[in-house]
Amino acid sequence: MLIKPGKDWQWNFCHTQNRLLLELGAEMVFVSAFCQKELVADALVAETFSIEQSEDFYLYVERIEQQLTLPEQMVNHIALNAVTAKSFYKPLMPKSWFFNTATSVSSALVGNIVQLESCYGCRHYLIIESNTKASTLLLIERSHQLDANKELSQFSLIKVMNDRLMPIRINNARQINAA
């Protein structure tokens, strides 16, 4: 079931789990993928889920559903991690050197699903933020090996130059390893 943001949704940081939580009411809690060291100081202060965050949530859900065939629970999970990242993640510097330059560059619109290709393969990412030169991306697959020593886990963020963003092929998008 698609969850609907409500005025009772509340952000809280859990020091025991070292994660930012979103209390969704009715004894439901979303545990984000992000720990304290990855977040700005505002993430440690309890606050209500904002109108802007609700708009971002619906945008991410709509764009994901247009591009991928995933269970609703997974779509919700990706969208909530994307909202968490956009709202509370510390700024990143581009790390484009891990990825091949795209032969066909994807549109760098927020909410687009794109691929990044390292020497270890391609993985799917959701664009969280973008400007004319670079984009911040959320890995939606289980992991992505970047080089011999560095691997991203699901919902990790990375910023890259837009010339690394490869468009997805819709028939291949259904095969992503996100569950």
Do 105 and 48 fall into the same domain?
no
Distance CA 49, CA 146 (A): 34
Residue 25: pLDDT band with limits 50, 70, 90: confident
Residue 26: pLDDT band with limits 50, 70, 90: confident
Do 36 and 81 fall into the same domain?
yes
Residue 4: pLDDT band with limits 50, 70, 90: very high
CA angle 152, 154, 155 (to 5 degrees): 100
What is the chain's Cα-based Rg? 16
Do 124 and 63 fall into the same domain?
no
| Mean of pLDDT over the chain | 93
Do 166 and 104 fall into the same domain?
yes
Range(s) of the domain holding residue 31 = 10-86
**Any idea what the CATH number is for the domain that residue 146 is in?**
2.30.30
110 inside domain: yes
The pLDDT score that the predictor gives to residue 172 is: 46
Task: Please check whether residue 130 is in contact with residue 111, taking contact to mean a CB–CB distance below 8 angstroms.
Answer: no
Do 42 and 79 fall into the same domain?
yes
Do 59 and 101 fall into the same domain?
no
The pLDDT score that the predictor gives to residue 81 is: 98
pLDDT digit string, tens, across residues 135-148: 999 999 999 999 99
pLDDT digit string, tens, across residues 103-145: 887 889 999 999 999 999 999 999 999 999 999 999 999 999 9
